[in-house]
């Protein structure tokens, strides 16, 4: 009789926990929808503007000195400003797209995880009952969804810009750019998850991943300027976003796999850390 009642209690508790996890995830999703909407809209506007500027500037850009275009191409991978795809790379894809998505990932993760401690609501959530693992998984899932939603704005911007400017970018280039930039952002979002789990400090969970993202970009941009150092660009996550020039060549599954593994490892490290730390609130 006791065994039957225990099984019944466990069975009824399981759907309740699932509802609680979905509720926490939904709340985290709603909290950053304004940021996601602003970034997605900015990507659409940037894509349309970049596409519209290509036809009137085409002759001027093609006539640029070769040493100038070569330098830009080394600093911003794939940014050959004498070609339509290279122009889109230079003006939007090389920096604006990953920068916007990384901002979404970092702010989503850091605010969602640390915010509950700062507002002293974490104790209430974990008493529902909701395990720490479930809480962290819900917040991490929300970060990933935020990045994917903002990436839809990137796809729309690229498609609209391509149509307006007649850039000749095919579907594989749009998909490749979206896949590489989204996974790069998720990697730095995973860093934010780890720092948030380790410290509970929203400022550190935002500042450290942002600084690492800037460093990753700098390594990928400046190391290729030296022939002896160019090989070390592979230590930068940015290399696996830009190195294969996905806007032109489409998806590079090897590079995507490296970014995916990095994101999984970083997120996996966050769970045992979060379990051991004393939580505020």
Residue 154's domain comprises 20-276
Residue 86 counted as domain residue: yes
Residue 62 counted as domain residue: yes
Residue 229 counted as domain residue: yes
Residue 2 counted as domain residue: no
pTM score: 0.87
For the stretch 160-173, pLDDT in tens is: 999 999 999 999 99
Residue 4 counted as domain residue: no
Q: What angle do CA 95, 99, 104 make, to 5 degrees?
A: 160
What is the full per-residue pLDDT of the chain (281 aa) written as tens digits?
444 444 444 445 566 667 766 777 777 778 788 999 999 999 999 999 999 999 998 888 777 665 555 655 555 665 677 789 988 998 899 999 999 999 999 999 998 888 777 666 665 566 566 778 888 888 999 999 999 999 999 999 999 999 999 999 999 999 999 999 999 999 999 999 999 999 988 899 999 999 999 999 999 888 887 888 888 899 999 999 998 999 999 999 999 999 999 999 999 999 999 888 766 55
**How many domains, in total, are found in the chain?**
1
Residue 5 counted as domain residue: no
Residue 1 counted as domain residue: no
């Amino acid at each position: 009789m006791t065994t039957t009642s225990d099984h019944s209690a466990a069975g009824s508790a399981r759907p309740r926990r699932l509802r609680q996890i979905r509720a926490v995830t939904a709340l985290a999703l709603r909290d950053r929808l304004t940021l996601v909407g602003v970034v997605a809209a900015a990507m659409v506007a940037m894509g349309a503007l970049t596409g519209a500027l290509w036809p009137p500037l085409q002759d001027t850009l093609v006539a640029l000195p070769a040493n100038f275009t070569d330098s830009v191409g080394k600093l911003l991978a794939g940014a050959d400003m004498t070609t339509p795809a290279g122009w889109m790379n230079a003006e939007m894809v090389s920096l604006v797209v990953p920068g916007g998505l990384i901002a979404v990932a970092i702010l989503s993760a850091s605010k969602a995880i640390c915010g509950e401690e700062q507002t002293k609501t974490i104790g209430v959530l974990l008493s529902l009952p909701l395990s720490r693992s479930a809480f962290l998984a819900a917040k991490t899932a929300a970060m990933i969804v935020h990045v994917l939603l903002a990436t839809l704005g990137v796809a729309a911007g690229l498609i609209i810009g391509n149509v307006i400017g007649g850039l000749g970018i095919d579907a594989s280039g749009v998909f490749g750019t979206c896949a590489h930039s989204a996974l790069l952002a998720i990697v730095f979002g995973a860093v934010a998850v780890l720092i948030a789990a380790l410290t509970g400090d929203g400022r550190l969970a935002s500042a450290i991943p942002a600084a690492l993202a800037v460093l990753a970009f700098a390594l990928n941009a400046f190391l290729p300027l030296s022939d002896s150092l160019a090989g070390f660009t592979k230590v930068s996550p940015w290399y696996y976003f830009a190195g294969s020039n996905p806007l032109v060549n489409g998806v590079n599954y090897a590079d995507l796999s490296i970014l995916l593994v990095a994101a999984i490892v970083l997120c996996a490290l966050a769970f045992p850390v979060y379990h051991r730390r004393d939580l505020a609130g």
